[in-house]
Amino acid sequence: MELQSIKQRFKIIGNSPALNNALDIAVRVASTNLSVLITGESGVGKEVFSQIIHTLSSRKHENFIAVNCGAIPEGTIDSELFGHEKGAFTGAHDKRKGYFETVNNGTIFLDEIGEMPIGTQARLLRLLESGEFIKVGSSNVQKTDVRIIAATNVDLPKLVQIGKFREDLYYRLNTVPIHVPALRERKDDIVLLFRKFASDFAEQYRTPLIQLDDDAKLSLTKYRFPGNVRELKNIAEQVSVLSKDRIIKKEDILRFLPDNELNTLPMLSNGQEASSFSDREILYKMIFDIKNDLNELKKFVWNATNGNVQSSEIDFSDVAIPKISERKNDASHSSNFLHVPDKESADDNPTIIINETPAYEVNTEEQSLSLMDMEKDLIIKALEKHKNKRKDAAFDLGISERTLYRKIKEYNLEK
């Protein structure tokens, strides 16, 4: 079957070589029963490829079901996929069929396979290898004939390296890999897709069709589209509904493009993460200065009382608060000296001069202002707090799970 007819049938817009190659693989593998792993960023249309494979296969008259593994709680995913017996767990009031039993002889699409728990991965591996599974709470082995198509937007080999994904399952799923290119990798298709979406929305909302001038087209193709086709469709809908003019100019389209892409950490032009943390750096420095000032106050109190009186018992009402001299950059300078007021002020307010090493041990270790070290320490603390559950740690740190994986590899924190 020609690719053009496939595109028309499944409403696929674009002529980029990478897209055509992915479609060609999907068409050729459809007639087999091989497992397929579809990779690509979120929003590129991975589910459409699973539907193409099922529709062109011998199972096209059987059931097809798409399951988002990341949307099912870890405690219930085994029951959802494989079913359970009555009384298998709290709340299991009735016997239930799982997806693999319901879709027997059909196709099941497991989206976000990288989110599947390790225990469920072992069950899935057995089903792939032998076609057998056991319901939760049962001891009876059941057979099923289901074709599995999996998809992910994360790097599964990296998950394998950190122990989040089974290596044997990865190779079993990756029998036939299909990579769906990101929208920024097929820039020539962006304007075609926008025109199609704009036409659909003009018909839906019964409004005149919008058109882009040349500068607007150029601005649109320069945008990176982190949300891919899904984001482009949203932008086309916004422009169709909110624009007063039907001829869209550069300044008009720029109003609908985000100024900053939705990345938790700054990005360099080549896609690498940058370290422009000016505000954060100032905050860290303020904290360290406060800590150092507290150490100075401790030394003052200790020497003022010769170490015999608790700081809470000292009356500072008739003692002027000395001004701490500016710190020297010389690392060998181990103690700070207090400024001595002039004679007139000294008569009114007696001031104690500190010029000797305090009798107690003061933590004078120089605090590191390296942002990379701070970031590494925060990641280590978050992983320890959540017992190496990277999904929870990433949420706690306020970054994406993919960014956390990249940082773990960058700082060599893999265990």
CATH number of the structural domain spanning residue 380: 1.10.10
Same domain, yes or no, for 248 and 279? Answer: no
pLDDT score recorded for residue 415: 62
In a domain, 397, yes or no: yes
Same domain, yes or no, for 250 and 293? Answer: no
- Considering just the CA atoms, what is the radius of gyration of the chain in Å? 32
- End residue of a domain, out of 181, 206, 226: 181
Pick the range with the lowest mean pLDDT from 5-19, 322-336, 358-372, 379-393.
322-336
Query: How far is the CA of 211 from the CAs of 222, 237, 238, 243, in angstroms?
Result: 18, 13, 13, 11
Measured in whole angstroms, the distance separating CA 130 from the mean position of its chain's CA atoms is: 34
Kindly tell me if the per-residue pLDDT of 318 is higher than 70. Answer: no
pLDDT score recorded for residue 302: 66
Same domain, yes or no, for 244 and 289? Answer: no
Q: What is the CATH number of the domain that holds 80?
A: 3.40.50.300
- Tokens standing for residue 286: 């303020």
Same domain, yes or no, for 198 and 123? Answer: no
- End residue of a domain, out of 219, 254, 289: 254
- pTM, entire model: 0.62
Total domains in the chain come to 4
Task: Give the pLDDT mean for 67-75.
Answer: 92
Task: Give the pLDDT mean for 355-369.
Answer: 46
Task: Give the pLDDT mean for 299-313.
Answer: 59
Same domain, yes or no, for 232 and 214? Answer: yes
Q: What is the CATH number of the domain that holds 246?
A: 1.10.8.60
Same domain, yes or no, for 30 and 102? Answer: yes
Task: Give the pLDDT mean for 318-342.
Answer: 43
Same domain, yes or no, for 31 and 94? Answer: yes
Kindly tell me if the per-residue pLDDT of 54 is higher than 50. Answer: yes
pLDDT score recorded for residue 264: 39
Identify the CA nearest to 245 among candidates 205, 210, 214: 210
Please report, as a single letter, which amino acid is at residue 85.
Answer: E
pLDDT score recorded for residue 219: 94
Q: Per-residue pLDDT tens for 107-133? A: 999 999 999 999 999 999 999 999 999
Note down the domain range covering 391: 370-410
Same domain, yes or no, for 98 and 137? Answer: yes
In a domain, 281, yes or no: yes
Name the percent of the chain lying above pLDDT 90.
Answer: 57
In a domain, 148, yes or no: yes
b/e string for 243-273 if b means 16 or more Cβ within 10 A?
A: beeeebeeebbeebeeeeeeeebeeeeeeeb
Same domain, yes or no, for 156 and 64? Answer: yes
170 compared with 392, residue with greater pLDDT? 170
Find tokens 């040349």 and name the residue. 214
Same domain, yes or no, for 33 and 133? Answer: yes
298 compared with 245, residue with greater pLDDT? 245
In a domain, 115, yes or no: yes
Q: Per-residue pLDDT tens for 220-235? A: 999 999 999 999 999 9
Q: Per-residue pLDDT tens for 157-170? A: 999 999 999 999 99
pLDDT score recorded for residue 344: 45
In a domain, 259, yes or no: no
Residue 247 — very low, low, confident or very high, per pLDDT cuts 50/70/90?
A: very high
Residue 383 — very low, low, confident or very high, per pLDDT cuts 50/70/90?
A: confident
Kindly tell me if the per-residue pLDDT of 333 is higher than 90. Answer: no
* Mean pLDDT value across the chain: 81
DSSP for 274-343 reads ----HHHHHHHHHHHHHHHHHHHHHHHHHHHTTT-S-GGG---TTSPPPPBPPPPS-TT-----BPPPPH
292 compared with 340, residue with greater pLDDT? 292
Kindly tell me if the per-residue pLDDT of 280 is higher than 70. Answer: no
pLDDT score recorded for residue 348: 47
- End residue of a domain, out of 165, 181, 197: 181
pLDDT score recorded for residue 372: 75
Residue 324 — very low, low, confident or very high, per pLDDT cuts 50/70/90?
A: very low
In a domain, 415, yes or no: no
Find tokens 């979120």 and name the residue. 42
Kindly tell me if the per-residue pLDDT of 209 is higher than 90. Answer: yes
Same domain, yes or no, for 25 and 36? Answer: yes
Residue 75 — very low, low, confident or very high, per pLDDT cuts 50/70/90?
A: confident
In a domain, 262, yes or no: no
Pick the range with the lowest mean pLDDT from 27-31, 114-118, 229-233, 258-262.
258-262
Same domain, yes or no, for 284 and 206? Answer: no
pLDDT score recorded for residue 258: 86
Kindly tell me if the per-residue pLDDT of 32 is higher than 70. Answer: yes
Residue 392 — very low, low, confident or very high, per pLDDT cuts 50/70/90?
A: confident
pLDDT score recorded for residue 307: 56
In a domain, 84, yes or no: yes
169 compared with 402, residue with greater pLDDT? 169
Identify the CA nearest to 174 among candidates 26, 38, 49: 38
pLDDT score recorded for residue 222: 93
Most confidently modeled range among 87-91, 232-236, 280-284, 408-412: 232-236
